Amino acid sequence: MAGLMVSEFAQSERLRERARRLIPGGAHTYAKGDDQYPVLAPGFIERGEGCRVWDVDGNEFIEFGMGNRTVGLGHAFPPVLEAAMAAMKGGSNFVRPARIEADCAETFLRIVHGAEMVKFCKDGSDATSGAVRLARAYTGRDLVACCGDHPFFSTDDWFIGTTPMNAGVPRATRRLTLTFRYNDVASVEALFLRYPRRIAALILEPARSDEPVDGFLHRVQEICRREGTLFILDEMITGFRWHASGGQHLYGITPDLSCFGKAMGNGFSLSALAGKREFMRLGGLDHSDLPRVFLLSTTHGAETHAMAAGIATMEIYRTQPVIEHLNRQGSKLKAGMEEAAQRHGIDAFVYPVGRPCCLTYATLDRDGNPSQSFRSLLLQETIRRGILMPSLVVSYTHQDADIDYTLEAIDGALEVYARALQDGAERYLVGRPSQTVYRRFNQNGQPPRAVYARKSA
């Protein structure tokens, strides 16, 4: 087993200084930034295999983030790697389409049953923004509604303008996106009462930490149909984790458009916008009744090795019990963490949240409020014990022994957590706590004095 009591990150620290000089924030994904982790954390990963990763200092961890949920099968999963390498040997990008583009589309559409056409790209933001553009073109409307309880849809202005981190997004653009609450049909109805026949698209995830209740998804879809609004499901996380055919299959609903990515390529860059032919055709060449839509056109969107990885990954999900394994191991992890928290008398302050195949966890302070300090402390103490768990997301390669060892580490970390509830987290946390991504300023969410002075000058 991993077995390492981790404490040394000298190489990471040196590399961090170099990266910050070269890369804004020191990373290319905000969720991977230093501000998301405690001071005592690996700064850079060297390699991964299965459910384990090794950092640049040689520390070994069992990982439960799985590349921000992009790696469902496991790091460097051999059948996926072999397919990608074989395709790459024949070239990765050409001046005309490659045969594998049609092969990948057929594979995808065999699995995602409600979709009739698909277009591939490289990341989730392009897919969701393409869906929004398509909906606006089809309806001739400007407004978009997105679920305010779901944390991320796109890096593009139509969504980022709804967050506190909206610097650079024009006010006019911000006013075009509306929000509603998950499992709150009244909040959806209120939007359409306020903006009748003006909303082009409504987008949400099928589920996240909460399951849809009282037919929520179907009721929202009925409202959209009544109002002539396209109903879009963001399946970046639920796709290839809730079910091989997506959350839409699990919940028995067929959206107008849906967006997939993350685990679809097991870490390779591949995402998809899929939907009914009636809408998707507007981005093609076979219509003349409506204006052309510049739907998706990415230079690297059809790289052969990513397509090959996607085909191999989707076939594994189709033929092997991946989803069953994720739910089984996640259930063990959830039950074990709950039992450990009860044993330490802190089950009201730290507990797993969500579906077993895609768990996160809550970390509350002594007053019962969500706490970045206590989240950082839990991360710090599990990292010390050889576990890297910004979430509790399992993969196909997490075996029983990995779960057992992880629960031992969590038990030890919760012992520290329990003491910190009495003594204060700052007594046990080394350095500053982590922070949320969506904050307006870097310094604890507040502007530095120089900014205030400049504004008042």
Residue 423 sits at φ, ψ, to 5 deg, of -100, -15
- Residue finishing a domain among 285, 319, 353: 319
Predicted confidence at residue 29, as pLDDT, reads: 81
pTM (predicted TM-score): 0.91
Q: Is residue 123 domain-shared with residue 256, that is, in the same domain?
A: yes
Please report whether residue 184 resides in a domain.
Answer: yes
Q: Is residue 187 domain-shared with residue 299, that is, in the same domain?
A: yes
Predicted confidence at residue 7, as pLDDT, reads: 58
Please report whether residue 395 resides in a domain.
Answer: yes
Q: Is residue 357 domain-shared with residue 422, that is, in the same domain?
A: yes
**Positions in the chain short of pLDDT 50:** 1-4, 445-457
Q: Is residue 28 domain-shared with residue 129, that is, in the same domain?
A: no
Please report whether residue 441 resides in a domain.
Answer: no
Q: Is the separation of the CB atoms in 277 and 267 below 8 Å?
A: no
Please report whether residue 456 resides in a domain.
Answer: no
Please report whether residue 453 resides in a domain.
Answer: no
Q: Is residue 244 domain-shared with residue 310, that is, in the same domain?
A: yes
Predicted confidence at residue 27, as pLDDT, reads: 83
Q: The CATH number of the domain where 177 resides is what?
A: 3.40.640.10
Please report whether residue 3 resides in a domain.
Answer: no
Q: Is residue 236 domain-shared with residue 275, that is, in the same domain?
A: yes
pLDDT tens digits along 151-207: 899 998 999 999 998 999 999 999 999 999 999 999 999 999 999 999 999 999 999
pLDDT tens digits along 202-234: 999 999 999 999 999 999 999 999 999 999 999
Q: Is residue 165 domain-shared with residue 308, that is, in the same domain?
A: yes
Q: Is residue 175 domain-shared with residue 306, that is, in the same domain?
A: yes
Tally of domains within the chain: 2
Predicted confidence at residue 6, as pLDDT, reads: 56
Q: Is residue 92 domain-shared with residue 238, that is, in the same domain?
A: yes
Q: The CATH number of the domain where 412 resides is what?
A: 3.90.1150.10
Predicted confidence at residue 287, as pLDDT, reads: 83
Instruction: Give the list of residues 6+ apart from residue 240 with CB closer than 8 angstroms, or none.
Output: 72, 246, 260, 262, 263, 264, 313, 314, 317
Q: Is residue 348 domain-shared with residue 366, that is, in the same domain?
A: yes
Q: Is residue 95 domain-shared with residue 159, that is, in the same domain?
A: yes
Predicted confidence at residue 19, as pLDDT, reads: 85
Please report whether residue 148 resides in a domain.
Answer: yes
Q: Is residue 111 domain-shared with residue 88, that is, in the same domain?
A: yes
Please report whether residue 200 resides in a domain.
Answer: yes
Predicted confidence at residue 448, as pLDDT, reads: 41
Residue 396 sits at φ, ψ, to 5 deg, of -65, -15
Identify the sign of the CA torsion 11, 74, 267, 97: positive
Give me 10's structure tokens: 């000298």
Q: Which residue segment(s) compose the domain that 60 sits in?
A: 10-69+327-427
- Residue finishing a domain among 277, 295, 319: 319
- Residue finishing a domain among 282, 298, 319: 319
